[in-house]
Structure 1
């Protein structure tokens, strides 16, 4: 449709009417009165000016029939309730409500109270409209606010409002007091209920059977059966006759307190007063006797009810079924179920929820499976979802894993949230049966839907469920999936050491050593016990990958966690480090090994000591030698000295010989000569002199001719003092040797 300009009104009038004539849903020009601001109920008279207004006519013409359903305008009471819910109760909010409502009538006030989001909003609104003089509350609004406050346990407010009613000119009636009595009773404050009941008499409010029935229900719910009997007698003395409902309440209460004989007497008294029991009465009797495990008595009343032509209801049958199940008579319960179906009485959720646990306890899993199928077909969910874990467990115990899986499918069809525990039972039993592929499929659903992380889970997975599947995944190259699953368990606080060790083992076996070490760090940080076998696999994996340093780190962690590595593992790490040229790191592994009392693989130890000395790490080597000697193992000093001398490592040979002399180690004389010759050959005369003196002090020199070259070198270098001392020591040694020889000859001659 073309837009119409007001400035060209005279010229466009014919075009306008022609446009209007082709509108699919033309609007009568009389409807234009809705655009007027006039409050008159009658449509305005169509003057020539109004009908010829191009703007109004264009608006009317543009009003097409809206597609879909019309949206109902929001009611005024709903607007007020929303305002109270979204804004604090302040003077500003009160003014906003007042400007919105020109006049408060009873219907509006009642509807606002009824629609208030909570009792506090209702109470504030109730008091405000009264104090502001906007509305005078009547009986209906008083009843409504008392009902709201009683339901929300704001009973003192309700009581004050009730007792203040005469001041406002509103009369009491019994219903208001009944609501307050019931409210105190539901809150468990029986004494206040009794006081309100007594106050009715003081205030002149007539008490009928309605008040007494409410009081009986309150006091019997709390087990006050003696008080109930007293008030029952008082009721009779006041000339108020009990009804069938009264007797039903009394019988129910006495059974609740296990006063079976008293309940039975009231049942007989009811009949003596010619008050016919109804189906509720018989249901109460049946339920009461079932509660005290007297199913035979319950059967008697069930038969009597049918004999009186009182048709049993679904409650009657369900109660009897519950009684049979409670005493283990499951077959009778099944027969009763078939009977109620034959009378076209449809079982409900309570019926099925009562029967299913009994079937599971009696190991009648085929019947339970049929009942569950029936529930799914009728889309009836049980009242207690815990029955499903019982069904799954029972079917697994019976060896029917397909039926157990069907239970899980039934839960999904009935829109019942599946929990980790349900999957756990199935996964555990699939693993026990060796059907790992089905277990893994269930695990995939757990991971994908994050069922484990649901906050309202009541059935968690047990270790017996998740550990077998984690082990399977780790042993079959799917450790990453196992870790993803276990990390969800960790978020729920699970720190299972078996699972952790399996993950570390799996990652190491697959060569994902960074992931394995990450798992190890988590275990150490959270103080989770570890297994030595997992560490061994990790160390060996690092060695296979050619990363001896990381293998050594893993070995250290293994030791820190209290595990004792085998000597072969020590050797593997040391050998790998040694071959990689990391002699000092290998030396540290050797030190740890010796400190732990592992005195094996000494051939490799000798190589490490030799390499340390050859590389100039003499002090470290000497420290390792001393540690070995404390452990009862001494190195081959002669061989070490010989190698050092041959390689020209004279200082290392000197320190090693000095170390051996200080500890009185057994060394061959030829080793002394090799060291002295090496020192002299290297021009280290003073070092040779020093070690020779120590050797002479130990009596380790027999051939003094080898020392003459040392004396010459000392004199040549200007060390005459040392040369003289050495000469005197040699001369003294010769005389001592001569005396020993003369003594030997004299002894031979004699």
Structure 2
């Protein structure tokens, strides 16, 4: 064990200066005096403070007998120690000449105690090193053995090993002799940083420098070497030690045994143990503990038990480490009953288990299904306020108690963590929430969820155990199905910050918002899913669309429907119909037409009655080209509309241009149309005075081989003549009489192509 250095008490040195007008007293180590002639509170020269130089009494002068300073009232402040002031100055200011001058002004004379204490109390190693070098270079203090050892210890602890090495090797130049402790400290420092070769070099350097090496140096070298698993090197140096006539001690063998077991060299460890016994060195409790722990590594519990019994038989009192080591071995070989028996035996001998004991035993009890014993042990830990070394034990306890169905005991585990001031993590709450949901104890689960969200435990960066999807999905689903989607979303948004992107949770939130009549909130969730490329569920889309429709927002429903199609989902025929009907009833005929287009493109051939209404509304409103495009799409899909019905409605409502274009469309594509529909359109054109349009249409009908018995044909010829279109009237007359067709005369072709 490394020596523990403490601050040395300072020796009080007073200097008294007499001036003509005033008396001034300087103290190197006290800045504030309650009175001019008191060195410390309540101390007199006859009763000096401990560890201080006695102050010789002298006659009081007349000036000293005359009190001229008022005694302060109230409690006096404790004087700050000078070394603390220097350390604070170094911590708060850069190391400059100005700072050095300030320290010199503060302390005119430096002695061993002050320098040692400043080094000991420096805030960091850099401050200590700067101060160490400065007082030496400035000629303020000549470092001795103790200050050198102190700075080597500080630098070694801070990994500034080259500085420590230089200071050590330069000591003879300053007139300070080396000793073994300094080299031991440096060897150990290199070893703790894993630089084994440098430790070995320093050890070998001792011999070059003529410094005697004792078993102390070898012990620290063995520990350094074996810590890195170099057991062969350790054996060589052990033989070298014997060759130098240095006898190993019990401590030496304890180190060697520890190292060999660390390197899993069982036979070598046993051989060294026998060698120790042959040298007449009896094992102590550390030796037994090391051997027992080594046997545990190889799961040789029979040998470990023999040593344990032997230790007790030789009046070597087992310690808590001994019992804990044996318990650990029993747990490793799944002998929980023996471990528990030894635990009770330990307590019967008034050996109190420590944190390691509980840490070792509790997982074994959980694995063996001894949950009642584990629960009692946890209560004992809480009563004694002992926290285990490994916090993962609590997760194991929670999981085991939940698996056994004892949720009250599982909840007590969480309470025990809080009482032991162990930070609860999101995963601990998650285990309980999951099992409360499985048991349909949703009220308890919601209470835990409220704590989890309110304290933002999910967002703690030190979390090593997170809430699993199996825990939060049932919780979110329950909240969304019971009108608490807002709470579920707050919970899941915290989970999202930790990287959770579970599509089930997202879709549950969408369904919950949709059912509660908050489709905008649901659509925001959809946007997040799209940005993060999370798959969207068709049922969630359906609920969102229906929610928009119930709210009377068909345009937003159509937007959601488009998103659904973009994501590769095929909406049901009824969903298409619902959106189309809502848009149509809201007067958004063109938007309904676009929905119809999407429906037809997706191969949905139902809802043709609604399609006819949409087409009729488009034609009636003058969106003829759009209507014809939709009709063309329907025909390509094998869903031709009822042209006769459309033509009849348009003719009756006086929408002659729309009717004419629709009929032209039918003639171009040889659609089947009743002659009565032609007559209705021609009658409507004639009635509207659009004789040239009627003439052009009739010519097309005749050219297609249509009937010529239109009863108003003579009225059209008369109207053409009356309007001065005699050529058209003459052509039409000949065509009707069959004297000349549109295909038989180029002149007829030219004249029949009169634009409408």
- Matching residue of 2:168: 162
Residue deviations 1:371-401, cap 9 Å, x none? 1111111111101000000000000111111
- Matching residue of 2:525: 519
CA pair 638-141 structure 1, distance change in 2 beyond 3 A: same
- Matching residue of 1:387: 393
**Contact 2:703/2:741 (<8 A) preserved:** no
- Matching residue of 1:678: 684
Which of residues 294, 300, 307 in structure 1 aligns to 2:306? 300
Distance 1:94 1:520 in 2: 67
Distance 1:422 1:47 in 2: 73
CA pair 591-227 structure 1, distance change in 2 beyond 3 A: same
Which of residues 64, 70, 78 in structure 1 aligns to 2:73? 64
Matched, 1:330 2:347: no
Distance 2:741 2:392 in 1: 106
- Matching residue of 2:158: 152
Which of residues 560, 565, 572 in structure 2 aligns to 1:554? 560
Residues 594-633 of structure 1: pairs in structure 2 closer than 5 A: 594-633=600-639
Residue 257 of structure 1 and its aligned partner are, at CA, apart by 1.6
Distance 1:441 1:31 in 2: 61
CA pair 241-31 structure 1, distance change in 2 beyond 3 A: closer
Residues 658-677 of structure 1: pairs in structure 2 closer than 5 A: 658-677=664-683
Residues 64-463 of structure 1: pairs in structure 2 closer than 5 A: 64-66=73-75, 71-463=77-469
CA pair 190-451 structure 1, distance change in 2 beyond 3 A: same
CA pair 45-565 structure 1, distance change in 2 beyond 3 A: farther
Residue 239 of structure 1 and its aligned partner are, at CA, apart by 1.5
CA pair 450-168 structure 1, distance change in 2 beyond 3 A: same
- Matching residue of 1:587: 593
**Contact 1:654/1:675 (<8 A) preserved:** yes
CA pair 329-648 structure 1, distance change in 2 beyond 3 A: same
**Contact 2:735/2:741 (<8 A) preserved:** no
Residue deviations 1:380-426, cap 9 Å, x none? 11010000000000001111110000000000010101000000001
With 588-597 and 75-84 compared, the bigger mean Cα shift is at 75-84
Residue 611 of structure 1 and its aligned partner are, at CA, apart by 0.6
- Which has the larger share of helix? 1
Residue deviations 1:680-716, cap 9 Å, x none? 1111111112212211211113216532222222222
**Contact 1:33/1:44 (<8 A) preserved:** no
- Matching residue of 1:700: 706
Residue deviations 1:259-288, cap 9 Å, x none? 222212222221222222111111111111
**Any idea what SS the aligned residue of 2:712 has?**
helix
Distance 2:276 2:64 in 1: 81
**Any idea what SS the aligned residue of 2:731 has?**
helix
**Any idea what SS the aligned residue of 1:376 has?**
helix
Structure 1 residue runs of 4 or more that deviate by more than 6 Å after TM superposition: 40-44
Residue 34 of structure 1 and its aligned partner are, at CA, apart by 7.5
Structure 1: any 5+ residue segments left out of the alignment? 1-29, 737-750
Distance 1:544 1:262 in 2: 83
Structure 2: any 5+ residue segments left out of the alignment? 1-32, 39-56, 743-756
Distance 2:739 2:415 in 1: 104
CA pair 42-654 structure 1, distance change in 2 beyond 3 A: farther
Matched, 1:563 2:569: yes
**Contact 1:324/1:330 (<8 A) preserved:** yes
With 587-596 and 552-561 compared, the bigger mean Cα shift is at 552-561
Residue 595 of structure 1 and its aligned partner are, at CA, apart by 0.7
- The two structures have a TM-score, normalised by structure 2, of 0.89
With 113-122 and 660-669 compared, the bigger mean Cα shift is at 113-122
Distance 1:263 1:721 in 2: 127
Residues 44-59 of structure 1: pairs in structure 2 closer than 5 A: 45=62
Residue deviations 1:631-684, cap 9 Å, x none? 011111111111000000001001100111111111111111111111111111
**Contact 1:247/1:267 (<8 A) preserved:** yes
Give the CA RMSD over aligned residues: 2.1
Distance 1:705 1:580 in 2: 42
Matched, 1:510 2:519: no
- Matching residue of 2:537: 531
Residue 42 of structure 1 and its aligned partner are, at CA, apart by 8.9
- Matching residue of 1:464: 470
CA pair 728-296 structure 1, distance change in 2 beyond 3 A: same
**Any idea what SS the aligned residue of 2:580 has?**
helix
**Any idea what SS the aligned residue of 2:697 has?**
helix
**Contact 2:702/2:708 (<8 A) preserved:** no
Matched, 1:576 2:579: no
Residue deviations 1:16-35, cap 9 Å, x none? xxxxxxxxxxxxxx987579
**Contact 1:33/1:43 (<8 A) preserved:** no
Residue deviations 1:112-160, cap 9 Å, x none? 2212222222222222222232222211111111111111221111111
Aligned pairs, number: 693
- Matching residue of 1:6: none
Residue deviations 1:518-564, cap 9 Å, x none? 11111112111111111111111111121111111111111122211
Residue 329 of structure 1 and its aligned partner are, at CA, apart by 0.7
Distance 2:215 2:712 in 1: 134
